[in-house]
Structure 1
């Protein structure tokens, strides 16, 4: 440890943590490193210690400081990069190190981006997308040739997805440019460190990655909030019943951070809190659709301790170091123990101080989920997503970026791509198809000049040098490259030009002049919709909140299994609130409990229809898919299905005829017949194709001085999709779209596991009326298309009526009299 760093720690009254010293030692030994340590353990500083050490006078020994770009820091969030810059500048300045630190993201001004390529800082804080764009410039070889280190923060947040694919390809490219470059990754919530070591390492060199485990911190203090009557609602998600108690909690604390799972709920909860804010406390809101100015303003206010509460989405999940947060509140179900642990860690953010968190369940199943998540956090159990093969659309984008930088040798680039875990599987056949797509758009599109982006200079077998067909393709690539393909967004501005943020185009199109809506905590009136901008002015009180089409957070398999075990752990019911315990006891008496070893299916009549409820615990995406498939199979069997509704835990399907035997509806062959037909004919594959077409560069959203609307992008991709399905069904992007539709949009893996075991695990219970466990999903019928939280009060009223029938327990005489 250089004495300058040791003295800086001592001057702050800190000690160098063991894991911090080990990260420096791993770097000095020339090894890559993965650090897994609790929130507040000083992970970010540990990742940067080797960089700081390289610039200390004792290590420089009179030599001038290194020139050029020394360290890249990659984070999943812009807010995290800016927060790290604030916290990194302090030790640099206090130690007097000759080290310049800057950020680079989509929000960085273009003149600064240009200057960073010609005169780079020593440390550049960026995102995977911005790094990929940097690699697309001809001067990238010179920019990165002296790179010593890459630090990847919160690696669990993106390594298993497409952003991780893009970063893995960028790491391979950087390693080829700077062979001595060291890789370091940091996380507090990695479930399987060995998988992440393999992802971080160049392919086949896992032993080159040292696993550093952090010192254990104080265990978090987690409580589950109940209403003042100690009851838990039957239905709903927004947990509005908790607002008065939540407001009192805010008044008790210096700062409270309130997490929601969607942008709609963030606006909704913020509005409810503001209505309760009789003391006019400073309360803020933060989510990804707000303008960068609004986000920076809120982040700065939090850092200065000026806010008493902040309502946020996943936009603040990761790494933001605000030490004055007393308490974290999770509104609604946490959906995963790792996600909950990450959010809890925002409180106190000190290793030796317990983080305090309050979970606020919206309904009874969410209460069980909150209990399961709390138990997992208490026991230190984490969950996470599995790694899967890298996406072909991401690979196509990377190939184009490499061509924009310089002509590339086909065989050399293939070897480079294969050096990452995500693409180690890539064979020459698939590689050739990807190159052919980037070069021509594919067999069906190669007659069109607009798709001819690269060309090979010779026809050597399995080799040759590829280059751009025209320099303008480089500009078009940089304008359109990226991995995150949100629904098309419309900018919200006041007449004076002040930007507020963005709403989805679909929502904006539903508005007309004079309509009002609520956004960023303000009531707004529409003046005009023009040129992809929604011009607004201040309005009186408004009830409408924009609803976003963002993906729902999936219930993890780990948490679902814990809930199922709780349901059959009758001895453990004693720690539940009275109404929740009664709910389970009546269910146990009248029907059966869905446990880890069975698949409970209940059938019963209600309101002149016949219902079947499947307790799958596979998450909303898989249940939605299963509902589609079951109703199709019911049609084929003449059961006259009427519809279905799903939540994370169960699926309710209704029709005019009863399902006497549910087993044939759940046979695994449903995934090889009905599934393929349904996905092929549904919007799912079209939506997936739109995303991969944009990522792969086949369809461009942005042109010089003009941006396509969402309708224009959809029209273009639908047109190409129809052509490819008819004339080239094995096109590389059709294959990529299928992979997306199977994995992300339908959660086909969990669905397949459920159906494969359904025959042995199926337990069918025929009932005369609705069961207690079916009430939470039944009350959603007719409201499934509405935003979560919008109808909670109405839901609660209907739930109480339905629950009356579900919870009624008759004696034999009473049953006879009723008949």
Structure 2
């Protein structure tokens, strides 16, 4: 068993630190082929992962690269480098540490390939690029360990699949490579261990002491939350009071638009002039770095942010986290809570601020889940084939390969352990020819088989184009935003579709500033400052999360309680009135209400399947109602319900829920739908059918969309069984359409439908009317009208 050397013991003692038991155990098990460490935030996971490396390098000479560190964030890699340099410098260890990301100068990247450091910190995309070069075997010769940080975050996306394929290739170059995964939030440790391991080798799991439970509560405000909406403007004064009581507060939001609006309102109410910043992925990098530096230096009292600050970076003396809006996912909430009191055995402190009345229930359900350490997450599907296609092209860039060898290599990657040879061959054929409908075009004839049976690039010059398009992150098509005057200062980015909706004079929020749109010039949105006006438009929407299956089930179980002493009085009374007027949804049944309102018949379906699935359900039910002559006029969906209105009353909803009929309707709707085209564009870009980056320029989003739409229509007509069409169908059903959640709902209720015909709007359905035609509010008059309409609806439902 390896012991901690005296130099290291003295260094720990000099800092007044105790070596944690899990850090010593990581050292003792340094020779395990694969090891997953699950330790709480602030528990020294990163140092635990690096201790064997630091000791190896301190005790013996090692030429070249010893340890590769993989991070999901460029900023996290830079932060870890700074943290590692401290013990290296203070113990005078002969170790060179460097990072390599998209921000690294090209001169340093070239030098790293010739003379790599002992420890290289990078991202999955940069590693994949390194593996595409012919000299990869020389650069990685002698590599002993790979440390994957925040592995849970990578495992949730195609970036993780790409990384595991790169590690499979590294293992072939460096037999005996040790793998280490680090995470604080894991709902299914054995599944994550299987993801990390070299198949069929095992991966051991080391779970550290979880430490004290977090101090997490729901904000109790004298002002009740509104019936709908996501801004939580009602809580601005309460949030400011909390900011005043703490050193640094992180205020998390689920979307960039909500973060911008909240920051704007918070700043207007900030009469004491507290230093408050905003941080999200669409802001200019210089502005983000300025906010990060100010946080570390303790010069900010609060930062309004999104998922850009979710992961393991230590952002200064944060002692409170506020989550505005229901977290939708318990695992994400736990990750965010961990940003506060980022120290071992110090409880994190957090407040949940529900944005509307229903979110009060969801927040309470999330609090219960956190207390019970019940994390949510969906099981991983098989490794995606578009990522495999990209890996085949990467392998070809590095030199000729035998199909049998590459197939065996790919199958050692956890996500691809069950890949069949026909599935692999279909991907190889696509990479070689483009597939049946495209094989006549030279641009997609990329691979050729030599006389010895090995595959290689048909034209070696194609490697440049392949390398320029490596990666699985699908950027939203964005345009730079700059001030028109004053030197054209960059402010950030907005979606191309958002920019296309603007007309000169429109005002919107970015970086907390109100700006006026002036013009679109050379793919840049030119704006001017306009502090005197109210923003007409909030800003781009960003990602909208769907409530997890587990959290939805918790809400349904809460509804079965006789009373709700844990909820604020106004919310408990709302649920009690629903039970009195109608009934509350139940876990194993489907509640459907019918009622008249404003001369229209309404059908409310409480499916609790998440926003994407409920949106799809609304579309499919409307289509079915049309086929049955029920004259639907429109629908609106939330995470928990779909409200459909039309001219005819639905007397028996059961035929509407025939799963086979819904699936057929889905297939017909999907064929020419924008959802499919958008999904196809993502898969085709990853698989190399469409190149966003070329040596001359990057294609605009509009150009890429035009190209992919033509390809999609061509394949739909002439080759509907094409590999990429098959991938697109699978991914659309899982992602934006989320039909799997509808199937799960159907299996859960098993035909048990409770249809209640009411004479008026029910209390639980009333908030859905506030969602209809939801548009940005301009001016106080519009806000007052909306409040009056809400009051009228609630009176009709018997709530006020």
* 1:26 corresponding residue in structure 2: 29
Deviation of 1:497 (Å): 5.0
2:393 counterpart residue number: 400
1:786 Cα shift?
9.1
Within 2, Cα distance between the matches of 1:791 and 1:96?
65
Question: What is the distance in 1 between the residues matched to 2:390 and 2:536?
Answer: 39
Q: Please list, as runs of the form range in 1=range in 2, the aligned pairs for 1:305-454 lying within 5 A after superposition.
A: 305-454=298-447
Do the aligned partners of 2:279 and 2:308 also contact (CA within 8 Å) in 1?
yes
**Structure 2 equivalent of residue 292 of structure 1:** 285
Offset at residue 511 of structure 1 (A): 3.0
**Which of 106, 110, 114 is equivalent to 1:114?**
110
Among 215, 218, 241, the residue aligned to 1:224: 218
From 578, 581, 586, the equivalent of 1:595 is 586
Give 1:807 shift.
2.2
Q: Give the drift of 1:516.
A: 3.4
Structure 1 CA distance for aligned equivalents of residues 65 and 265 of structure 2: 48
Distance 1:516 1:655 in 2: 36
Q: Kindly indicate whether the alpha-carbon contact (under 8 Å) linking 1:503 and 1:546 is maintained by their aligned counterparts in 2.
A: no
Match status 1:529 vs 2:558: no
Matched-pair contact (CA < 8 Å) for 1:645–1:784:
no
1:26 touches 1:32 (CA, 8 Å); kept in 2?
no
Partner-residue secondary structure (3-state), 1:217: coil
Q: In structure 1, which of residues 466, 469, 480 is the aligned counterpart of residue 455 of structure 2?
A: 466
- SS of alignment partner, residue 654 of structure 1: strand
- Following the alignment from structure 1 to structure 2, what is the Cα–Cα distance between the partners of residues 391 and 381? 28
In structure 2, the residue corresponding to 1:408 is in which secondary structure?
A: coil
Which residue pairs with 2:467 in the alignment? Answer: 478
Closer/same/farther in 2, CA of residues 546 and 704 from structure 1, 3 Å limit: farther
Are residue 627 (structure 1) and residue 628 (structure 2) matched?
A: no
Q: How far apart in 1 are the matches of 2:423 and 2:678? A: 23
In structure 2, the CA distance between the partners of 1:293 and 1:545, relative to structure 1 (3 Å rule), is farther
3-state DSSP of counterpart to 1:189 = coil
Q: Matched residues in 2 for 1:515 and 1:769: separation?
A: 40
Report the 3-state secondary structure (helix = DSSP H, G, I; strand = E; otherwise coil) of the residue aligned with 2:206: strand
In 2, the alpha carbon distance for the partners of 1:402 and 1:53 equals: 34
- CA distance 1:808–1:306, shift in 2 (3 Å): closer
- With over 3 angstroms needed to count, the CA separation of the structure-2 counterparts of 1:218 and 1:790, relative to structure 1, is farther
Match of 1:5 in 2: 8
Contact 1:504 1:548 in 2 (8 A): yes
**Cα deviations by residue, 1:151-210 (Å, 9 ceiling, x for unpaired):** 11111112132111111111111111111211111111101111011111111212xx22
Listed one character per residue, the Cα deviations across residues 71-109 of structure 1 (whole Å, up to 9, x for unaligned) are 111111222222222222212211211222222222222
Distance of 2:480 and 2:160 partners within structure 1: 28
Give the corresponding residue for 2:295. Answer: 302
- Asked whether 1:146 is paired with 2:142, we answer yes
Equivalent position of 1:104 in the other structure:
100
User: Alpha carbons of 1:662 and 1:735: their partners in 2 closer, same or farther (altered >3 Å)?
Assistant: same
SS at match of 2:24: helix
CA–CA distance in structure 2, aligned partners of residues 493 and 406 of structure 1: 43
Q: TM-score, normalised by structure 1?
A: 0.94
SS of residue paired to 1:102: strand
Aligned-partner SS, 1:202: coil
CA–CA distance in structure 1, aligned partners of residues 464 and 735 of structure 2: 31
Alignment of 1:535-554 (within 5 A): 535-542=526-533, 543-545=535-537, 547-548=539-540, 550-554=542-546
Helix, strand or coil at the partner of 1:295: helix
Deviations 1:336-365, CA, capped at 9 Å, x for gaps: 111111100000111221111010001121
Q: Indicate the residue corresponding to 1:719 in structure 2.
A: 710
Asked if 1 retains the 8 angstrom alpha-carbon contact of 2:39 and 2:184, the reply is: yes
User: Once superposed, what is the RMSD of the aligned Cα atoms?
Assistant: 2.0
**Structure 1: how far apart are the matches of 2:690 and 2:375?**
39
Please say if 1:562 is aligned against 2:554.
yes
Task: Please tell me whether the aligned partners of residues 609 and 654 of structure 1 are also in contact (alpha carbons under 8 angstroms).
Answer: yes
Quote the offset at 1:23 in angstroms. Answer: 1.2
Does the 8 A contact of 2:360 with 2:567 survive in 1?
A: no
Mapped to 2, the partners of 1:131 and 1:795 lie a distance apart of 52
Asked whether the 8 Å contact 1:39–1:351 carries over to 2, the reply is yes
Indicate the residue corresponding to 1:616 in structure 2. Answer: 607
**CA drift at 1:647:** 0.6
Measure, in 2, the Cα distance between the counterparts of 1:661 and 1:619: 24
Distance 2:39 2:194 in 1: 18
Deviation at 1:546, TM superposition (A): 5.4
| Residues 602-611 or 160-169, more deviating | 160-169
- Is the 1:487–1:549 contact (alpha carbons within 8 Å) kept by the matching residues of 2? no
Report what 2:253 is aligned to.
260
- 1:785/1:560 CA distance change after superposition, 3 Å: farther
Residue of structure 1 aligned with 2:266, choices 262, 273, 276: 273
CA shift for structure 1 position 2: 1.9
Equivalents in 1 of 2:640, 2:648: separation in Å? 24
Q: Structure 1 residues 422-431 or 192-201, which shifts more? A: 422-431
Contact 2:595 2:760 in 1 (8 A): yes
Distance (Å, rounded) in 2 between the aligned partners of 1:525 and 1:610: 42
How many pairs does the alignment contain? 793
CA deviation map 1:482-525 (0-9, x unaligned): 21113211012345354322111112223344543321122334
CA distance in 2, matches of 1:641, 1:396: 43
Secondary structure, aligned partner of 1:691:
helix
Q: Is the 8 A contact 1:238 1:792 kept in 2?
A: no
Matches of 2:434 and 2:562, distance apart in 1: 60
Q: Distance in 2 between matches of 1:435 and 1:95?
A: 50
Q: Is 248-257 or 29-38 further displaced after alignment?
A: 29-38
Counterpart in the other structure of 1:812 = none
Equivalent-residue separation in structure 1 for 2:496 and 2:264 (angstroms): 23
CA distance in 2, matches of 1:580, 1:536: 43
TM superposition shift of 1:790: 14
Cross-structure match for 2:477 = 488
For residues 353 and 175 of structure 1, the distance between their equivalents in structure 2, rounded to whole angstroms, comes to: 39
Q: Deviations over 1:536-565 (max 9, x none)?
A: 343333504554354321211111111111
| Cα shift at 1:796 | 4.5
Is the 8 Å Cα contact of residues 537 and 776 (structure 2) preserved in structure 1?
A: no
Alignment of 1:777 with 2:768, yes or no, is: yes
Distance 1:545 1:283, change over 3 A: farther
Q: 1:759 & 1:793 partners in 2: Cα distance?
A: 44
Note the C-alpha offset of 1:465. 1.0
* 1:95 equivalent in alignment to 2:95: no
1:195 paired residue among 182, 191, 194 = 191
1:516 matched to 2:507? The reply is yes
C-alpha contact 1:594 1:615 (8 A) present in aligned 2? yes
CA separation in 1, counterparts of 2:510 and 2:593? 42
SS in 2 for 1:502: strand
Match of 1:814 in 2: none
Aligned mate of 1:71, from 63, 67, 74:
67
For residues 234 and 89 of structure 1, do their structure 2 counterparts lie closer, same or farther at Cα, with a shift above 3 Å needed? Answer: same
Would the alpha carbon gap of residues 169 and 755 (structure 1) be closer, same or farther in structure 2, given more than 3 Å must change?
A: same
The counterpart of 2:643, out of the listed 640, 649, 652, is 652
Give the whole-Å Cα distance in 2 for the aligned partners of 1:759 and 1:9.
Answer: 59
Q: Does structure 2 retain, via aligned residues, the 8 Å contact 1:742–1:748?
A: yes
